[in-house]
A = this chain, B = another copy of it.
Amino acid sequence: MGLNFFNRDDRDMRFVLFEWLDMEKVLGYEKFSEFALDDFAMMFDEAYKIARDFIGPTFKDGDEIGVKYEGGQVTVPPSFHEAFKAMAENGWIGLASPPEYGGQGMPAVVSGVINEFFNAAHFAFMTYVGLLVSNSGVIVNYGTDKDKEMFVERMITGEFGGTMCLTEPDAGSDVGDLLTKATPDPDAGDPRIYKIEGSKRFITCGRHDMVDVIIHLVLARIEGAPKGTKGISLFIVPTKWVNEDGSIGEDNDVFCTGIEHKMGIHGSATCSLSFGENGKCRGILLGEPNSGMAKMFQMMNEARIGCGVQANAAAAAAYDAALQYAKERVQGPPFVDRSKPRVPIIQHEDVRRMLMNLKAGTEAARAMIAYNFWMVDVAHNDPDPEVRKAMGMRSELMTPLLKSYITDMGAQLCRDAMQILGGVGYCAEFPIEQHYRDIKILSIWEGTNFIQSLDLVGRKLAMAGGSVYQNFLKEIFDYTAAYKEDPDFAKEFKMLFKAAQATGDISMKYMTYFKEGKIQLIPLSSTRFLDCLAEVTMAYLMLQQGLIARDKLAEAKEGSANHAYYTGKVASVKYFCNNFLPNIFARHTAISQEDTSAIDIPEASF
């Protein structure tokens, strides 16, 4: 069993759930009426143990033993089997899944925060679990009663595996160009059953030995369907046929033809799959023909939020490791007095700066993630349809921010963590170098970070005539106006105000680019605009937290754990506003230059 590095501090998660977000509102919904806040607090303790005792050991095993491919089968390390079993048996897979199918029916926000634990222990292991949740969720939403009965509970309880099969060797970011075909199977006696034929690549958890049956959700084009994304349908393709009585039938014609050799996430099998090589692969059409992209987008959206969780979990784990090291490692006298004895490196200013990047960065990301999950709960459960719609759209606006900003920032935070450790941080005896390698996939999969920025500027900014975005900015302006004289955070509110202005100014420029025929300037800078909006959002949420922490600090007993925590929160809020937000002005200046050298340069001049 692998070396266990799991050592998360959960205080900030508890603050988010029990002291900041309006959980009364969520618990007031019919669906959650049986839960009380205390239940969640107890679940935290249990989740911590699962993360530490079962997932923690998979971290090193996954990296060092990794997954093995032989003769079409993929095997995972023994500790993976144990951890998967522990998650399945104790109901942790379906935390937020519907109780009628074996789930626990918890609010998304609770599940989301708890999932940071699990992912901090080892997010590559958690891909096997996370895909089950989102995959089964698609069947719950779009499957027939029979589909649900046949597949959902068996996935949520870990009997079956699950994947999403989009990418092909020649269609990555450009999923609309996929070549996998579906043709009606006249022998099946069921018009929903098709024959599937094609190759998929980069299929996460596409084959493994923790389950006997994997339920692939496969994008394919029904013969004669339109080109592009409009002609894509979604199919349920089990690796073994599941009979109507629930018994497992014959093997389906799906093979794993190999796995990728990757820089990180060695424990997560990245498979190439071949469907229908012998003309015998059967799949069940999920929902209407040609509606596959929209359905897959539900799953994709969850996966994108999931990327934010994974990235922040890895960064938070790196923070914990770096913090522990910084407290223990003694090196060098204080900068202000070189004649003094040497001190633990946590006393050195630059180490503190990097620790604050990690602390403030992960707290801000956690706030944005949890707020998004909270909005999902409201959007799904509020009795008022207007509220549901508004929160749903705001959540959609923020999804690309979570996916893109947090994954890029997370990679930079792992860099800081490694820098704190120095030479040993580059070596395998500490967990940082693995986090550094693992986290990098998150900026690539589930739609590259550039794709996220196109989603933001191309679709999300324009939602409801632009009002979703405009209302959000206005809310921030109102907030900064209300607190501009705040005794503790006036400087930070002022900074946020200016940052929001600069961000709004970029989107205004984008409007004029359409008119002025400069539209190429938009994709040239959209990743930077996304980063601006993400930082504004995070600063806004951090300041909300800062006001609470400031008030509670006044009540807290000096020397108590709470006093230390609230002091730290106030520091995080100030640090974030003063050190992260100024980047927005750099991006604003760069974008304002309207430099077209990257567009103008001929290909031969690169």
Question: How far, in whole Å, are A173 and B353 apart by their CA atoms in the complex?
Answer: 17
Q: Which of A23-31, A148-156, A415-423 contacts B (4 or more CB under 8 A)?
A: A415-423
Whether A599 sits at the interface, judged by CB under 8 Å, is: yes
Q: Tell me if B582 and A598 are in contact (CB < 8 A).
A: no
Q: Contacts A177-B342, A433-B263, A440-B426 known; A605 to B350 CB distance under 8 Å? A: no
Whether A90 sits at the interface, judged by CB under 8 Å, is: no
Q: Which of A44-52, A282-290, A442-450 contacts B (4 or more CB under 8 A)?
A: A442-450
Whether A22 sits at the interface, judged by CB under 8 Å, is: no
Q: Tell me if B568 and A605 are in contact (CB < 8 A).
A: yes
Question: How far, in whole Å, are A260 and B584 apart by their CA atoms in the complex?
Answer: 40
Q: Which residues from chain A sit less than 8 Å from chain B, CB to CB?
A: 167, 171-174, 177, 201-202, 260-264, 323, 327, 331-332, 335-336, 342, 346-350, 352-353, 355-356, 359, 411, 415, 418-419, 422-423, 425-429, 433, 436-437, 440-441, 443-445, 448-450, 453, 491, 495, 519-520, 522-527, 564-565, 567-568, 570-572, 574-575, 578-579, 582-587, 589-590, 593, 595, 597-606
Q: Tell me if B423 and A172 are in contact (CB < 8 A).
A: yes
Q: Tell me if A590 and B582 are in contact (CB < 8 A).
A: yes
Residues of B within 8 A of A173 (CB): 331-332, 422
CB distance from A524 to the nearest CB of B (A): 4
Q: Tell me if A172 and B331 are in contact (CB < 8 A).
A: yes
Q: Contacts A571-B601, A585-B585, A601-B352 known; A593 to B423 CB distance under 8 Å? A: no
Q: Tell me if A524 and B331 are in contact (CB < 8 A).
A: no
Determine the residue in chain B with the shortest Cβ distance to A359.
B606
Residues of B within 8 A of A522 (CB): 335
Q: Tell me if B448 and A262 are in contact (CB < 8 A).
A: no
A-B contact pairs, 13 of them (CB 8 A): A174-B331, A263-B427, A263-B437, A352-B601, A355-B606, A356-B601, A419-B448, A419-B450, A568-B601, A568-B605, A571-B598, A571-B605, A579-B595
Q: Tell me if A598 and B575 are in contact (CB < 8 A).
A: yes
CB distance from A567 to the nearest CB of B (A): 5
Q: Tell me if B433 and A524 are in contact (CB < 8 A).
A: no
Question: How far, in whole Å, are A359 and B605 apart by their CA atoms in the complex?
Answer: 10
| Residue from the set A565, A584, A593 with the largest chain B CB neighbour count within 10 Å | A593
Question: How far, in whole Å, are A587 and B589 apart by their CA atoms in the complex?
Answer: 13
Question: How far, in whole Å, are A550 and B491 apart by their CA atoms in the complex?
Answer: 45
CB distance from A346 to the nearest CB of B (A): 6
Question: How far, in whole Å, are A595 and B577 apart by their CA atoms in the complex?
Answer: 10
Residues of B within 8 A of A587 (CB): 582
